[in-house]
Structure 1
Amino acid sequence: MSAASKATLAATTVSAIAMILYVHRSQKVDQSAMHEGVLRDMESQRLRQERQLDFDVQKALEEEYRKVQTVDDGRGGKS
């Protein structure tokens, strides 16, 4: 094998390995970013459910209080 063919083989081998490592690293970074997005989405859903439960409890309490007492709604009438 000539020196030129050995150099070509070495250069192509090194560049192939470099490309494989770059693609592997890129996929890992993308996977990590997607995982963080999923975690953010799950946290957002948890907060939304928590707030909805708080809202439902407050609405139920308001209905109970309206049954027990008269409330002036600020428009001059009573509810």
Structure 2
Amino acid sequence: MSRASKLTLLGTSLFATTTVVLVHFQQEWEKKAMHQGVVRDMEQQRIKKERQLDFDMQRVLEAEYKKEQSVHDAIAAADAAAKAEDKVS
């Protein structure tokens, strides 16, 4: 085998080996990135669920407080008072 053919064989072998190794590492990096996306999505879903539970609890508390306390619209009361004063004047 000539020297040129040996160098060609060595070069192509190194190129092929390097390509296989690089593709392997690239797949590992992509797999890790995809897993991080799943972890991030699960965390966002957990936060969303917590916020929804807090919102529901606040709605229940608001309903209980409205049962216990008489709540009226301050703006409507001020308008009614202003109209009453206008009629008296």
Q: Distance in 1 between matches of 2:35 and 2:74?
A: 50
- Higher relative contact order, chain-length normalized (CA < 8 Å, sep 6+): 1
Q: Distance in 2 between matches of 1:32 and 1:71?
A: 55
- Number of residue-to-residue matches in the alignment: 77
Q: Which amino acid aligns with 1:31?
A: K
Q: CA RMSD in A?
A: 1.2
Q: Structure 1, residues 12-42: CA drift from partner, whole Å, max 9, x if none?
A: 0000000011111111111111111111110
Q: Distance in 1 between matches of 2:43 and 2:15?
A: 42
Q: Which runs of 5+ in 2 are unaligned?
A: 78-89
Corresponding position of 1:13: 13
> Residue 71 of structure 2 aligns to a residue in which SS?
coil
Normalised to the residue count of structure 2, the TM-score between the two structures is 0.80
Q: Which moved more, 1:68-77 or 1:22-31?
A: 68-77
Q: Which runs of 5+ in 1 are unaligned?
A: none
Determine which structure has more spread, i.e. the larger CA radius of gyration: 2
Q: Distance in 1 between matches of 2:19 and 2:12?
A: 10
Q: 1:76: how far off?
A: 2.1
Corresponding position of 2:24: 24
Identity between Structure 1 and Structure 2 (%): 51
Correspondence 1:65 to 2:68: no
Q: Distance in 2 between matches of 1:74 and 1:17?
A: 79
Corresponding position of 2:4: 4
Q: Which amino acid aligns with 1:5?
A: S
Q: Which amino acid aligns with 1:65?
A: Y
Classify 1:37/1:67 alpha carbon distance in 2 versus 1 (closer, same or farther; 3 Å): same
Going by fraction, where is helix more abundant, 1 or 2? 2
